Amino acid sequence: MPDTTLPVFLTDTLPGSGHTTLDGEEARHAATVRRLRVGERLVLSDGEGGMARCVVEAVQTGRDATLTLTIEEHWTEEPPALRVLIAQALAKGDRGELAVELATEAGADAIIPWRATRSIARWEEGTRGDKALARWRATARSAAKQARRAHTPEVTEPANTRELAGLIQTVSRALVLESGITTRLTEIEIPPQGDILLIVGPEGGITDDELATLTDAGATAIRLGPTVLRTSTAAAVALGALGVLTDRWK
């Protein structure tokens, strides 16, 4: 088993053996923030399952920081047979980024920003929307490294309710998390493989029209438990429950 105590850094290219160089922002973080030195070890990840344990052979600090590395072990981690996609409603302030962080740490395989009717954040087309999406993607990237994940979840372009309804028809199962529903997660059949879509509404809840559109497309409305969860925590709690109820954590 790989050493889960070693820090993880992302790289676009990951050789299977020999030597490689870590540069750019990841190298600056490794050299300046983590203060890694010659002889210490780290793990490189390509974010798509490829991982490599490396020993630091040389460190150049400063603006053009680089680490020269020797690869000691290379392995590939396969994605789970049952992938979980999170459709996360846009949330005000930093709650959306918190939702992405927690869902990534809990194992989300992809995150779809959802322009729900009651979302206070709008992510209009243009620079502001692009910056907001970039923050979500940076959050997922950072959280995946912190959790030492082999796979960094994709954060897609934002979708509206009609587009979510179309996505529902392509997955193995779709679930709408809604506090006013009596059906519980433990009462439904969960497929052993494929993609399951979890839809998380905004702080103000999902409208009746949205719920009708999503369920008409094939989604099942459920609630997780007896309490009402915030939009920033609901996906992470659901992912934990699915980890226990399926083979995702085995």
Q: Residues of CATH 2.40.240.20 domain(s) within the chain?
A: 8-76
Torsion of CA 46, 50, 54, 56, to 10 degrees: -10
Instruction: Indicate the pTM of the whole model.
Output: 0.91
The domain 82-245 is classified under which CATH number: 3.40.390.10, 3.40.50.150, 1.20.910.10, 3.40.1280.10? 3.40.1280.10
Top CATH class of 8-76 equals mainly beta
Render pLDDT for 189-220 as a digit per residue (tens, 0 to 9): 999 999 999 999 999 899 999 999 999 999 99
pLDDT of residue 2: 59
* Dist CA 40 CA 38 (whole Å): 6
Render pLDDT for 232-243 as a digit per residue (tens, 0 to 9): 999 999 999 999
Render pLDDT for 154-172 as a digit per residue (tens, 0 to 9): 999 999 999 999 999 999 9
| CB 104 within 8 Å of CB 217 | no
Q: Residues of CATH 3.40.1280.10 domain(s) within the chain?
A: 82-245
Q: Which residues of the chain have pLDDT under 50?
A: 1
